[in-house]
Chains A and B, each alone.
Chain A
Amino acid sequence: MSPERWQQIKAVLDAALERDVARRATFLAEVCQGDEALRREIDSLLAAERRVRGFLEPPLFTLLAETGAGGETSHRAAAAGRRRLERRRRSFLNDRKEDHETMIFMRSGSII
């Protein structure tokens, strides 16, 4: 796809999104007349519309107590940090039960 083509697709997509779902087909039939590829592009992008809710919500950062002053790691501090992290992770998941299945939790591991 070229940048120019994307600008064209974007303009039609925008105009379609501004319209009620019921009126889109007529609008697109008219605008995409003679350009079947354009119509297919728009249709496939519009198909995502109902599923993007919540997509690209910014991640949350959680902070760990695994680093001591000056960068040395104490095993006790690390264990306490992990317990705290686990509690936080659970409460985070409880808050968002619906996201439980899709939740990705990334650990940075121990830090020296």
Chain B
Amino acid sequence: MSQPPHDVTAVLRDWTDGDPEALGRLMPLVFDELRTIARRYLDRESPNHTLQPTALVNEVYLKLVGRRRVTWENRAQFFGFAAELMRRILVDHARGLRASKRGGGAPRISLEAGVDVAFRQDVDVVALDDALKDLAALDPRQAKIVELRFFTGLTNEEVAAALGISLTTVKREWRTARLWLYRELKRR
């Protein structure tokens, strides 16, 4: 089995240790992988190409890190990274759409991997991103929980494992964070 071009686990470790450049090193790898996965799905001619974010991230993870080294700790790091990446992709994408509607001619940062996004409710991703930044200032852990649930589609159980906290805590924090964010978005 061929090795990935970079040691993904090492980059993930750097990222968890707070190396801000790690995200930049990992991003192109993930983009490439998204593109490959998109192509493979389409080659299958399956009528349903809709993916939950969790499924997409899982596939990218398995491709980049491989099954042999799958430990939960590894996966949790990756999901944390993926949540941040997905957030950035979606927000940039939404901002690009907004700019092109205004005719501003700003460079459009499309998902570039042949990936489209469909929201199940009317969510203003840019406003959500801003509100999440405010929430992170009040309560970083709550913001992280929302990020993991919304941007990578993790379940409460998975969020609990990823953050090393109890399921009860996740549910409680999610419940109040959601009320707070809902109110914030209505105000903006």
Contacts and interface: CB of A to CB of B under 8 A. Distances in A.
Interface of A: 1-3, 6-7, 10, 13-14, 17, 44-49, 51-52, 54-67, 69, 81, 84-85, 88-89, 92, 96, 99, 102-109, 111
Interface stretch (B9-17, B63-71, B72-80, B118-126): B118-126
Q: How large is the interface on B (under 10, 10 to 19, 20 to 34, 35 or more residues)?
A: 35 or more
Helix, strand, loop or mixed for chain A's interface? Answer: mixed
B137 to A, nearest CB: 7
Given A52-B182, A99-B120, A61 B138 contact: no
Contact of A60 (B113, B117, B175, B178): B117
A60 B183 contact: no
B29 interface: no
B115 A62 contact: yes
Contact of A58 (B122, B139, B152): B152
B114 interface: yes
Residue from the set A7, A56, A57, A104 with the largest chain B CB neighbour count within 10 Å: A56
Given A45-B179, A55-B182, A61-B53, A67 B114 contact: yes
A51 B183 CA distance: 10
B116 A6 contact: no
Nearest to A109: B110
B26 interface: no
A57 B149 CA distance: 8
Nearest to B97: A106
The prevalent SS among residues of B at the interface is: helix
A59 B182 contact: no
A108 B112 CA distance: 7
A84 B121 CA distance: 22
A49 to B, nearest CB: 6
25 contacts: A3-B138, A7-B139, A10-B139, A10-B176, A13-B176, A14-B172, A44-B183, A48-B179, A48-B182, A51-B182, A54-B120, A56-B181, A59-B119, A59-B120, A60-B51, A62-B50, A64-B116, A69-B39, A84-B49, A85-B116, A88-B49, A104-B119, A105-B119, A106-B119, A108-B114
